[in-house]
Structure 1
C-alpha cells in the first residue's frame, strides 16, 4: 500500500466516522470508519518503514570507491561550406 493510498483510507474513514449519519441494518458506519482509519495508519507506517529501509540499503560502506575518469578529446567538427553560385548575366525578375 502506498502512502497516498493510506492517506485516502484515513480520510475516507474519518468521513464515515464523523460526517456521515446513515444507519444500515446490521452495519455500524462509525465502526467501518474507525477500521478504515486504523488500516490507513498501519499502511502509512508500513510505507514509511519501506522508504526508510530502501534509503538505508545503499551497499557496503567498507569498499573503497574507485573512479576512473577518462577524458577524451572531442573529435574535430566537420564544417560544411556552401557555395552560392549566382549568375549575374541573367536579367533580374
Structure 2
C-alpha cells in the first residue's frame, strides 16, 4: 500500500467517525473509522521511514589520478634499475 492508499484510509476513517450518523446492527461505524485512521497513520509512518532510508546520499566515488615519473635508466649502475633520482647511487 502506498502513501495514497494510507491517506485514503485516513479520509474514509474520518468520514465514518465524524461525518456519518448511520446505525448498522452489530457494527460500530465509529470504531471502524478509528481503526481505519490508525491503520492509515501507521502506514504513513512506515512509508515515510522507508522513503527516508532510500534517500541516503552517498558521495560519488572519486578517482585518484597518479602521475608517473618517466623512468630514468642508469646504465652501468651497480644497484640496478630500482633506484631513481640519485637515491642509492
TM-score range, shorter chain: 0.5 to 0.7
The equivalent of 1:47 in structure 2 is 47
TM-score by length of 2: 0.65
CA distance in 2, matches of 1:32, 1:4: 20
The equivalent of 1:3 in structure 2 is 3
TM-score by length of 1: 0.62
CA distance in 1, matches of 2:30, 2:54: 36
Q: Which has the higher contact order (CA 8 A, sep 6+)?
A: 1
Runs of 4+ in structure 1 deviating by more than 4 angstroms, as ranges, are none
> What is the count of residue pairs matched by the alignment?
64
Question: Which residues of structure 1 form unaligned runs of 5+?
Answer: 68-93
Question: Which residues of structure 2 form unaligned runs of 5+?
Answer: 65-89
Residue 25 of structure 1 aligns to a residue in which SS?
A: coil
